[in-house]
Amino acid sequence: MIDKIRNYISKCPYLNDFNNININYLIDKVKSYSINEAAGYNPHINTYINGDKEMQFKFSFDAKFHWNKEIANNLDNSLFFENFRNWLERNDEEGIYPIVSNGIVPLSISAITDGYIFATNSDEAIYRIDCVFNYIKEKR
């Protein structure tokens, strides 16, 4: 599922470069990104009488940006995540979801937190936003 999420997020117009979107690894470069599967959650939400399962895939989207005392810079970083969240919301409202395999029926995709500073060093910060993709896995 994580590769489907990566391909989906690569279409976000606020990203600089698809090649800088990694999976579970954030390179040491500003304006790089990583999709990370969340830990400690149950992907199974519900099983229906017909055997279909309601599932969730929780993930975080990380980005490395310049970080300093300049208000304009830090506002830009926050605006990036506000735009990213709004992009997810618009896509969800319009039914634009990750392209998944047969037997998977997308239900929703959303950010479940705002973007926040996850880690810093002297002049860079890793920002994170937590997200969830809900879907039905049809019994075959």
pLDDT band at 122 (very low <50, low <70, confident <90, very high): confident
pLDDT reported for residue 16: 76
**Is 102 in contact with 114 (CB distance < 8 Å)?**
no
- 25-66 pLDDT, tens per residue? 998 888 899 999 999 999 999 999 999 999 999 999 999 999
Mean pLDDT score, 5-12: 95
Q: How many CB atoms lie within 10 A of CB 134?
A: 17
Q: What is the overall mean pLDDT for the chain?
A: 94
Question: What digits encode the pLDDT tens for the residues 93-103?
Answer: 999 999 998 89
Looking at residue 43, the DSSP 8-state letter turns out to be S
Interatomic CA distance for residues 135 and 97, integer angstroms: 10
**pLDDT confidence of residue 140:** 82
Structural domains of the chain, count: 1
- Which CATH number is 35's domain given? 3.30.2000.30
Give the burial string for 47-83 (b: 16+ CB within 10 Å, else e).
Answer: eeeeebebbbbbbbbbbbbebeeeeeebeebbebbbe
Cα–Cα–Cα angle for 7, 35, 11, rounded to 5 degrees = 30
What is the span of the domain harbouring residue 103?
A: 2-137
